[in-house]
Amino acid sequence: MVNLDDKFPSISDLAAAAKRRIPHFAWEYLDSGTTADAAMTANRAALDRIRLLPRVLKGEQEPDLGTTLFGQRYDAPIGMAPVGMTGVMWPGAELMLADTARRGGVPYCLSTVAAKTPEQVGPVAGDMGWFQLYPPRSHDLMRDVLSRAWNSGMKVLVLTVDIPRPSRRERQRRAGLSIQAGVSRQMLSHVARRPAWALATLRHGNATLATIAKYAGTQDLAGVRKYFVNEFSHNPSLAYLEALRAEWKGALVVKGVLHPEDALIAERAGADAVWLSNHGGRQFDAAPAAITALPPVVQALGGRLPVLFDSGIRYGGDIARAIALGADFCFAGRPFLYGAAAAGQAGADQALHILTDDLRNSMAQFGAQTLTDLRRPGAILMEA
């Protein structure tokens, strides 16, 4: 049997295999940022600049990666960020990732625009299932989506607030993928060569459109699609967040915060955590590297709310860096999809293994027994 640690020792090995295996438009959708990919590149560069000063002579140590968030025990401080159109990158990827997450004891956050429903994913994810909401304008539609997530066992809700409108995503357009225009001719020609994708994409589209049609007030495909884009390309207000807070009984996380003032606003509106992110560099190319924006947000919240972090994590050492800078929990988006697209369920498992094993290694190298030990004063050095 092939040892996956030899075949795919790093996330970039999984990415290279994914690129070979999946249609070009699906790869470009997964891998791209926006505009010049500058924010995406900055995420990595900024993480690489953070140096942690290790301590030695600490005797035998077995790092403990476990942590508690919203009263739930997790085996490691790394979760799977919501990724939309998931089934287009690998048919059935949501169920694979949810299964990896449940066995690994880490959260799996299902996207509003995934290819599987909360009812399908909930039982697979078990206690590890979270749900991400793109805020629909219609409160009836919002309540319907929320009750489906809750009844499927997802008790943590993530409200994504950093998509005021769809970003330009030039690489995706070049590859023939345009969400607003629906399925383009180039995309169809890619899909035609891969029947599994044709099926997954169509099923995804049909399931989503059938759910939305009852609110759109039309069965006409173009009309439903227009309604869908308009409903979800929505920049929610503070009042919207407050209404959602009143509606949702579980933990509520606000995702896509970079400014400390916005973290405080989320806190005042009753959020249970703030998720610091620049959406993996996919929305605003002039945005700062997410890790650069982390310390001011941590300072503003002063430990009153947990801070979740994503954007650019590719190594366990990045998780150690973010936690050293004050994050309580980290997430990764692309790495788990690279894994599933490279080698199915085993690839998803391998992505989680790479990140957790390297975190264990980083903690041992740094001289940290627990995640809290990573916050050792004076240990963070920044390279110019």
Q: Which residues are catalytic?
A: 279
Binding to ligand FNR by residue 84, rule CB under 6 A?
Answer: yes
Nearest by Cα to 100 from 368, 355, 329, 364: 355
Place of tokens 């610091």: 276
- Among residues 34, 111, 201, 362, which is the contact residue for ligand FNR, using CB under 6 A? 111
Count of other CB atoms within 10 angstroms of residue 163: 18
Candidate segments 78-86, 293-301, 343-351, 375-383, binder of ligand FNR by CB under 6 A: 78-86
Binding to ligand FNR by residue 87, rule CB under 6 A?
Answer: no
- Asked whether the beta carbons of 380 and 324 are under 8 A apart, the reply is yes
CB of 79 to ligand FNR, least distance (A): 10
- Among residues 100, 201, 311, 350, which is the contact residue for ligand FNR, using CB under 6 A? 311
Give 195-258 as a 3 state SS string.
Answer: HHHHHHHHHHHHHHHHHHHHHHCCCCHHHHHHHHHHHHCCCCCHHHHHHHHHHCCCEEEEEEEC
CB of 226 to ligand FNR, least distance (A): 20
Candidate segments 2-10, 174-182, 212-220, 304-312, binder of ligand FNR by CB under 6 A: 304-312
DSSP characters over 124-161: HHGGGEEEEE---S-HHHHHHHHHHHHHTT--EEEEE-
- At 334 the three-state DSSP class reads helix
Nearer to ligand FNR, 35 or 311 (CB): 311
Using Cβ positions, the residue closest to ligand FNR within the complex turns out to be 333
The residues pairing with 52 across neighbouring beta strands, listed in sequence order, are 380
CA distance 339 to 314: 12
Positions in 274-293 near ligand FNR (CB under 6 A): 277, 279-280, 282
Candidate segments 69-77, 208-216, 229-237, 308-316, binder of ligand FNR by CB under 6 A: 308-316
The residues pairing with 257 across neighbouring beta strands, listed in sequence order, are 276
Q: Is 310 annotated to bind ligand? A: yes
- Among residues 262, 310, 349, 358, which is the contact residue for ligand FNR, using CB under 6 A? 310
Would you tell me which residues interact with ligand FNR (CB under 6 A)?
Answer: 29-30, 81-84, 111, 113, 132, 160, 255, 277, 279-280, 282, 310-313, 332-334
Residue numbering of the annotated binding site for FMN: 82-84, 111, 160, 255, 277, 310-314, 333-334
